[in-house]
């Protein structure tokens, strides 16, 4: 019977071809050719229908035997090829004597570290942290801080405008308004840390983004001496005992009276050096008593309530402390700089 011979031949040929395969990529081709839906065995078995009634069962049984034999052989061959390849890949790729690849965990940015320092020191003095947005309304950034439209004091802050009513905050002071409006008529003692933006020429001394720490206290009988005492305490915790402070009259639209606060130079201890421009003093804050108009805008009656506010830079003191000559390093993303801190 021709059909049975053909089946035998197919089995022989299939087994031989299977032995001749070299790698796993060839396995699917073999499978498709011999056992696939349009493969050679299927084609042969289709002819079984044309055989006589006696021959048909014989050929059918033989067909199933061939199919089983080829499938078993395929499985065995596939297992052995894959095992061989795995073995080979292990031999090549894993050299357990190589040194490990070091993990390089990052660390905090200098600005972040400074900010955390400020937060800790003020937390010890009972100040909570109030976070306010970096994108602000003109109203909060200026108008409600007693700087109406077209007031010349707006020139103190070169401003990035988002549109006619929205700005990138030029200082952290607009947070004062948000905080007061949220917490009045309760007393307040908060710091407001955050990033600020100014539309300025970038130079070694000025960036268009930088951090500030704002402070705000609102209560009954809060006085100028509370402000000075708070800043003195801060300076000693941050820069060491026995600091000297100096208060100079100044102007901010949202404080009255307004002052600038100096501390004896941390490098020369007040002797005079290049860093303090031979004055012996470094400015650490703009500050003052919260202006009655601002208290009112925040929801507090200035006849009953008073408060102090201050604003401090973060990068400049860090520069002085670490001898950093150019503020642009803070955002330059140069690892040679960042890794030093
Ligand atoms: N917001 C002021 C500035 O950026 C600093 C300041 C804050 C002054 C609070 C007084 C009170 O220049």
- Ligand 1 nearest-atom number relative to CA 215: 9
Q: Would you say the CB of residue 173 lies under 6 angstroms from ligand 1?
A: yes
Q: How many domains does the chain have?
A: 2
Residue 13 in any domain: the answer is yes
Confidence (pLDDT) at 300: 98
Share the mean pLDDT of the chain. 93
Q: Would you say the CB of residue 255 lies under 6 angstroms from ligand 1?
A: yes
The closest of 125, 109, 255, 239 to 191, measured between CA atoms, is 125
Q: Kindly report, residue by residue over 161-185, the tens digit of the pLDDT.
A: 999 999 999 999 999 999 999 999 9
- 165 and 22 within one domain: no
Peptide bond between residue 185 and the one before it cis (omega within 30 degrees of 0): yes
3-state SS of 282-320 is EEEEEEEEECHHHHHHHCCCCCCCEEEEEEEECHHHHHH
Residue 116 in any domain: the answer is yes
Q: Would you say the CB of residue 130 lies under 6 angstroms from ligand 1?
A: no
- 118 and 66 within one domain: no
The answer to whether 160 and 197 have CB atoms below 8 angstroms apart is yes
Confidence (pLDDT) at 194: 97
Instruction: Tell me, in angstroms, the distance from the centre of ligand 1 to residue 290's CA.
Output: 11
- 214 and 333 within one domain: yes
Dist. CA 341–CA 315, nearest whole Å = 13
Confidence (pLDDT) at 1: 56
Q: Kindly report, residue by residue over 127-165, the tens digit of the pLDDT.
A: 999 999 999 999 999 999 999 999 998 989 999 999 999
Give the number of other CB atoms < 10 A from CB of residue 29. Answer: 12
The answer to whether 248 and 283 have CB atoms below 8 angstroms apart is no
Instruction: Tell me, in angstroms, the distance from the centre of ligand 1 to residue 276's CA.
Output: 21
Domain residues for the domain of 261 are 110-338
- 130 and 54 within one domain: no
Reported pTM:
0.71
Which segments of the chain have a pLDDT < 70? Answer: 1, 93
């Amino acid at each position: 019977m021709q059909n049975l011979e053909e089946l035998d031949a197919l089995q022989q040929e299939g087994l031989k071809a299977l032995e001749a395969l070299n790698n796993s990529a060839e396995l699917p081709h073999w499978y498709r050719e011999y056992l696939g839906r349009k493969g050679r065995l299927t084609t042969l078995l289709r002819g079984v229908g044309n055989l006589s009634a006696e021959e048909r069962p014989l050929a059918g049984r033989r067909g199933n035997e061939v199919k089983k034999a080829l499938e078993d052989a395929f499985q065995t061959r596939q297992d052995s090829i894959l095992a061989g390849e795995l073995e080979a890949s292990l031999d090549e790729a894993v050299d357990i004597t190589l040194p490990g690849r070091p993990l390089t965990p990052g660390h905090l940015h200098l600005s972040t570290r400074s900010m955390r320092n400020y937060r800790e020191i003020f937390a010890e003095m009972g100040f909570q942290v109030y976070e306010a947005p970096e994108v602000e309304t003109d109203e909060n950034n200026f108008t409600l801080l007693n700087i109406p439209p077209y007031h010349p004091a707006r020139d103190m802050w070169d401003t990035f405008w988002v549109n006619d009513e929205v700005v990138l905050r030029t200082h952290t002071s607009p947070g004062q308004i948000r905080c007061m409006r949220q917490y009045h008529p309760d007393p307040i003692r908060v710091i407001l840390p955050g990033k600020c933006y100014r539309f300025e020429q970038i130079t070694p001394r000025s960036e268009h983004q930088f951090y500030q720490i704002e402070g705000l206290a609102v209560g009954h009988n809060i006085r100028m001496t509370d402000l000075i005492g708070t800043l003195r305490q801060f300076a000693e915790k941050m820069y060491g005992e026995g600091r000297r402070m100096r208060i100079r009259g100044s102007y901010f639209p949202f404080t009255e009276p307004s002052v600038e606060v100096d501390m004896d130079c941390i490098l020369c201890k007040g002797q005079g050096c290049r860093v303090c421009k031979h004055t012996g003093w470094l400015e650490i804050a703009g500050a003052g008593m919260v202006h009655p108009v601002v208290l009112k805008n925040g929801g507090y009656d200035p006849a009953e309530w008073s408060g102090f506010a201050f604003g401090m830079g973060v990068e400049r003191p860090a520069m002085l402390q670490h001898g950093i000559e150019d503020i642009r390093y803070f955002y330059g993303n140069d690892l040679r700089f960042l890794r030093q801190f």
